[in-house]
Amino acid sequence: MYILIINSGSSSIKYQLFPRDSDQPVCSGLVERIGQDNSQVTHEIFRADVAQTLKLDQRVKDHETGMQLLAGLLTRKDIAVIADPAQIGTVGHRVVHGGETLTEPTIITADVKAKIKALYPLAPLHNPGHIKGIEVAEKLFPTATQIAVFDTAFHQTLPEKAFRYAIPDKFYREDGIRVYGFHGISHQYVAGAAMTWLKNPVAKLITIHLGNGCSMAAVSGGRCIDTSMGLTPLDGLVMGTRSGAIDPSVLLYLQQQKGYTAEQLTKLLNKQSGMLALTGHNDMRDISRLYHENDPAAKLAYELYTYRIKKFIGAYTAALNGLDALVFTAGVGENDALARELVCRDMEVFGIHIDIAKNQLREKGLRDLSAGGSSARVLVVPTNEELAIARVCRTLVAEGHPNLESS
């Protein structure tokens, strides 16, 4: 039997298929640039430590199409890794927003799906895609147990002074308006890997997850004490299509003076802002190419993007009262040397010195990019949210969760 992990991002689906008793996947894949004309599917199969890679260039119009495509690849005759969908006993789903009620991994029931749907307004780019992924997975793998693991769970350790907003108390007590934080599965995974590598279980870390969505976390001894995203994944850093932090008066001005509706503002801030608004592109690979071609819009975008990150580093170093390591992760954090260099430039006051030559090397695995004299390590730690979710699913199944009796 196998565990299939589905990790739906705002414009991508990552997946891995694991044997129930192993951390080594039999295949993995990425459906990226969903909804764009240049969508791409990368599917890797691992046999006897040898990887076979299949790339497909075809338009993937939405997450449902992507889910159907990946399911077909698992059983496609020439590259099949399973003979029958019934061999998948568990499907683990990353779910971005669990609110204050869904704070632990849970078997997916009709009630759980209803709660995830109720949180659509707080994660409009993600939770609808998760539900679609869950519903398609239920059809494609009808005998499997579906499990949800929530991105917000790791941030439940935030102290109240960090998660409360300075608005009337009733909005928190009655409506749950507070900082939730996101990318928690990734932040927790890379923080754990960094602490192990540092041989320091009480390390003070700033984890920096940079993908199409971007967030940071201040982690002390494995516990998150602050994070950049807030009530929704919109707050904090500049992202692919999201604005990040913005003066609320901008929204009031657009509403009162320009006639924008709430729906238009939601679309503006979530899908038409960020790097897309600054450059016309939301993929950092395209923007990096333009930067190196001396495109002024790309230059400004990189400076603005990394400046916001630098400000959070300062704030979180103060919150932690020190810093043992910066940890870069996710697609941009792991692969974009320019972004890492600009973030670490002129940060000597925090003991941060990056080795420019090491930073340019395209290596895999955990790596230390620190220059001599750096009191704070500069690490790249590849995230593996799928493995983290698989381990959670394995534990939940092994513990004989009550809901499994009907599975």
**Alpha carbon of 21 to those of 2, 25, 106, 165, 176: distances in Å?**
9, 10, 20, 44, 39
Is 210 part of any known ligand binding site? yes
- What is the distance between the terminal CA atoms of the chain, rounded to a whole angstrom? 14
Query: Which one is catalytic: 23, 111, 151, 346?
Result: 151
- CA Rg value for the chain: 21
Instruction: State which amino acid sits at residue 160.
Output: E
Instruction: State which amino acid sits at residue 392.
Output: V
23 is catalytic: no
Report the C-alpha gap between 151 and 9 in whole angstroms: 11
Is 335 part of any known ligand binding site? yes
Is 14 part of any known ligand binding site? yes
Residues 6+ apart with CB under 8 A from 259: none
Instruction: State which amino acid sits at residue 360.
Output: Q
Is 96 part of any known ligand binding site? no
Tokens of 167: 């608005």
Is 341 part of any known ligand binding site? no
Is 322 part of any known ligand binding site? no
Is 38 part of any known ligand binding site? no
Is 384 part of any known ligand binding site? no
Is 268 part of any known ligand binding site? no
Is 175 part of any known ligand binding site? no
3-state secondary structure 264-332: HHHHHHHHCCHHHHHHCCCCHHHHHHHHHCCCHHHHHHHHHHHHHHHHHHHHHHHHHCCCCEEEEEHHH
Is 324 part of any known ligand binding site? no
Q: Is the separation of the CB atoms in 88 and 82 below 8 Å?
A: yes
Is 89 part of any known ligand binding site? no
Is 314 part of any known ligand binding site? no
Residue numbering of the annotated binding site for ATP = 14, 209-213, 283-285, 331-335
Binding residues for Mg(2+): 7, 385
Question: Which amino acids are annotated catalytic?
Answer: 151
Residues making up the binding site = 7, 14, 94, 209-213, 283-285, 331-335, 385
User: Which residues make up each annotated binding site for substrate?
Assistant: 94
